[in-house]
Amino acid sequence: MAQTVESDKVTRLSDDSEKKILRKRLKDVEICVPIVYGTIAFWLGRKATETQSHKWTVYVRGATNEDLGVVIKRAVFQLHPSFNNHIRVVESPPFEVSECGWGEFEIGISLIFHDDVCEKQLNLYHHLKLYSEDDSGPQSIKKPVVVETYNEIVFPDPSEDFYARIQKHPAVIVPSLPVSFNVPFDNLIEKKGDTKDHPLNQWFINFSEADELSNLSAARHQALIFSCYSNGASIWLMSIQLQVSVIDKYRIYNSC
Amino acid sequence: MDAKDILGIPKNALPSQDKKSKPPKETQRKPDGISREVYALTGGLAPLMPAIDVNHLKRKAQLENEKITWQWLPFTSSARKDDLQLYHWVRVVNGVPPTGDYSFAKYNKSVDVIKYTDEEYAKYLSDPAWTKEETDQLFDMCEQFDLRFIVIADRFPTSKTVEELKHRYYSVSRTILIARAPSPGDVAGHPLVKDPYNESQEKERKRALALVLSHTKHQERRDVEVLAQAKRITEARKTIKAPKAPELPIISDVGPLGIDSADNVSPPTNSQLPSSSVTNPVSETASVVASLRMMRVYLRSYALEQLVQAASSSAGLRTIKRVEQTLHDLGVNLKPKVPTRAVCAEHLELRKEILTLLNLQKQLQYKEAEGTSYRDASYTEPPGTPTKRSVRAADLDQTFTPDSLGFGGERSGKREQKRKGPGRLSEAPSSPAQSKRPRKFKASD
């Protein structure tokens, strides 16, 4: 994708937020951070009590388990009010909260970004799932209930600083700028907040873009075939109508 | 010992409450003169109209002291021509039985069927379709059955339809009436003269009624669709007539594949339909893209939702449902599980293509309908009343199905899907889609 970023197009934007920092923004550039958020719940089996039947973890991770700490400053998990201290703030990656409980509820997740990234926060919602929906036998202690959602955080027109900082980071997808445009680039990649060696790693779902794309292209192919078919039939009908009208005229002519 | 004892409630507590709550109820009192049972039927609501004449009630009150008896007495009725003596129970006040005619005799209405003489018949009423005997018989029966034409048609010796019988009766009556009048102006106000019986219209009315009654649910749905489409076409024409917006050149550029070619072959009457339905989404999409940019940060799935909404903003709820159904049939999630940039772009394209497909199918159905009405007009019916043709269009479903199997709209669409692209279709051009794709990518950016 060819984005033309000319120096005169780099606009200075003053935001309505309290920090009125004049920042250089890269127009028509879009930085995107693929994330996965969700919950993994283990049944406690014999250890389960009435109020604590499951141990679960809610988390936000990079889609490829890269460190999200470069973009996200902190995450705020809002649990059910019946939990002690039900608003949990996680200041550093991995952004996760583990708890024990018995009931399912909706967890609100607010992501707050670093200053150079974005002033606004992003809210996600995830429904905690403890009990598997497909009745594949009784609950087991070994196999957890995993519900994950893939999504991408998109930053349109990012600031130059941000771009420079994460340009080479594996957690983000960054369009390459034309060579003419020179953004100083910090080589500050510290690998510590990733979830690659996470104890729950084996349960993480691998979201495949390729599968989705092939599925879609197959569907598009089909739709195209139908369209052509309808179109062809339409033309065919027209020709019949023409014939009919000719016959009709002929009949009128004869009867005259 | 009663229930209150068992429940341990003080005996006086409730009755005193009852007394307190009763007085307000009394405000809705039963009006005088209405029996309690009748009043109960109204559910305690005051009747909108006075049910009983007030004077009647007053009179009754005055005559309270009179002696009333009921007697089994003979009576005569002016409605009877024989002198049959019948008895009934009569209310007798102070020993004086009521005089006058039988109270129900006034309901014995009879029709004045016109009688014509032989001369009049010879002069005005000869009709090649009717003999004098038949006409006489018809008028006798009209008299006998009080113009109940359905009964008459049932008893009539020669086979005539109800409409034919009515037509003959009314036209004869009308002719005689006019002929006997001293001047045409004298009878101009007569209902028979003012509103002559229209046989063909009556037949058409009954046919249309029968058609509506025999409609299946499916046909009804199709009718609604056709009407909705017609409405859309007229609206599209209106917008086309309005000063052309500068976006138009872009539209032809972005317009989904197939539409362009469809336009070339379709008659100008409905070519506006697809292009105008594409007009709005383009500008809508642009505004969504702009507003997303203003957000500074957003989720890809949210952006997709907004773009989908913008793209289908001009489509009706029914169309949106059908797009979603088609997506489902194609095995595609309504919301992509992995909403990456490329996936979302593809998803949007697919939706666009489905919209195009549905439009094409609609056009096809439209063509089918046109073809049917055309054939009907030229083959199955003599060129005649235009009303017939319009009604014909309504049951196009019935008449066209045998030929249209396999070419029908949605039904055949689903069938095709299972077949997975028959060989014949593989010849269909697929290049326009590919050549246009890069351009459309930009549009959805």
Give me the pLDDT at residue A132, please.
82
- Of A240-244, B121-125, B433-437, the one with minimum mean pLDDT is B433-437
The whole-angstrom distance between A84's CA and the closest CA on chain B is: 30
- pLDDT band of residue A125 (cuts 50, 70, 90) is very high
- Of A88-102, A130-144, B3-17, B183-197, the one with minimum mean pLDDT is B3-17
- Of A59-73, A79-93, A165-179, the one with minimum mean pLDDT is A165-179
- pLDDT band of residue B280 (cuts 50, 70, 90) is low
Q: Cα(B138)–Cα(A140) distance, rounded to whole angstroms?
A: 90
Which residues, 6+ apart, have CB-to-CB distance to B328 below 8 Å?
B334
Phi/psi region, residue B406 (left: phi>0; alpha: psi -120 to 50; beta: rest), is left
A212 versus B422: which is more confidently predicted? A212
**Residue in A with minimal Cα distance to B431:** A224
For residue A14, the SS3 value is coil
* Helix ranges (DSSP H) in chain A: 160-166, 209-255
- Of A154-168, A200-214, A237-251, B213-227, the one with minimum mean pLDDT is A237-251
Q: Which residues pair with B69 in a beta bridge?
A: B92
Fold (CATH) for B122-197: Arc Repressor Mutant, subunit A (1.10.10)
- CATH number of the domain encompassing residue A161: 2.60.40.1970
Q: Cα(B304)–Cα(B345) distance, rounded to whole angstroms?
A: 8
B253 versus B66: which is more confidently predicted? B66
* Pair A192, A236 in one domain: no
* Pair A203, A213 in one domain: no
Q: Which residues pair with B87 in a beta bridge?
A: B74
Give me the pLDDT at residue B412, please.
42
Give me the pLDDT at residue B168, please.
93
Residue with tokens 């409405």: B231
A41-79 residue pLDDT tens: 988 888 888 888 889 999 999 888 888 888 999 999 999
In a domain, A81, yes or no: yes
In a domain, A256, yes or no: yes
Give me the pLDDT at residue B410, please.
42
- pLDDT band of residue B136 (cuts 50, 70, 90) is very high
Contact, A28 vs A3, CB < 8 A?
yes
Mutate to test the interface with A, among B270, B308, B333, B338 (most CBs of A within 10 A): B338
The whole-angstrom distance between A249's CA and the closest CA on chain B is: 10
* Pair A101, A223 in one domain: no
Question: What percentage of chain B has pLDDT greater than the value 90?
Answer: 10
Residue A13 backbone phi and psi in degrees, to 5? -115, 130
In a domain, A2, yes or no: no
Domain that holds residue A53: 7-207
Mutate to test the interface with B, among A68, A231, A241, A244 (most CBs of B within 10 A): A231
Residue with tokens 């009748």: B38
B330-373 residue pLDDT tens: 888 888 888 888 888 888 888 888 888 888 888 888 877 776 66
Give me the pLDDT at residue B166, please.
93
B417 versus A79: which is more confidently predicted? A79
Res. B139: pLDDT tops 70: yes
pTM: predicted TM-score of the whole model, two decimal places: 0.46
Give me the pLDDT at residue B29, please.
62
The whole-angstrom distance between A93's CA and the closest CA on chain B is: 20
| Domain residue ranges of chain B, discontinuous segments joined by + | 1-62, 66-99, 122-197, 244-420+428-443
* Pair A221, A118 in one domain: no
Residue B38 backbone phi and psi in degrees, to 5? -65, -40
Compute how many other C-beta atoms are within 10 angstroms of the C-beta atom of residue A165.
24
Q: Which tokens go with B192?
A: 């028979």
Which residues on chain B are in Cβ contact (under 8 Å) with A154?
A: 292, 297-300, 303
Return the ∠ at Cα A218 (arms to A212 and A220), rounded to 5°: 100
Give me the pLDDT at residue B85, please.
85
In a domain, A1, yes or no: no
Which residues on chain A are in Cβ contact (under 8 Å) with B367?
A: 234, 237-238, 241
* Pair A154, A63 in one domain: yes
* Pair A67, A183 in one domain: yes
**Residue in B with minimal Cα distance to A63:** B338
Contact, B317 vs A183, CB < 8 A?
no
Give me the pLDDT at residue B246, please.
44
* Pair A215, A244 in one domain: yes
- Report which of A133, A4, A223 is spatially closest to residue B351, judged by C-alpha positions: A223
Residue with tokens 């100008």: B268
Give me the pLDDT at residue A203, please.
82
Q: Do B343 and A240 touch (CB under 8 A)?
A: no
Q: Cα(B382)–Cα(B388) distance, rounded to whole angstroms?
A: 10
Question: What is the sign of the dihedral through the CA atoms of B253, B255, B257 and B258?
Answer: negative
**Surface-to-core class of residue B300, CB atoms within 10 Å of its CB (0-12 exposed, 13-18 middle, 19+ buried):** buried
- pLDDT band of residue A195 (cuts 50, 70, 90) is confident
- Report which of A236, A56, A13 is spatially closest to residue B293, judged by C-alpha positions: A13
Residues B178-201 have a mean pLDDT of 85
C-alpha to C-alpha distances, B306 to B137, B288, B293, B310, B319, nearest whole angstrom: 76, 7, 13, 6, 17
Which residues on chain A are in Cβ contact (under 8 Å) with B337?
A: 150, 207, 212
Q: Do A229 and B425 touch (CB under 8 A)?
A: yes
Please report the ipTM that was assigned to this predicted complex.
0.75
In a domain, A146, yes or no: yes
Q: Which residues 242-301 of B are in CB contact (within 8 Å) with A? A: 257-258, 261-262, 265-266, 292-293, 295-301
Return the ∠ at Cα B161 (arms to B160 and B167), rounded to 5°: 95
Give me the pLDDT at residue B392, please.
44
* Pair A23, A76 in one domain: yes
Which residues on chain B are in Cβ contact (under 8 Å) with A29?
A: none
Return the ∠ at Cα B39 (arms to B35 and B43), rounded to 5°: 165
B26-39 residue pLDDT tens: 445 666 666 777 77
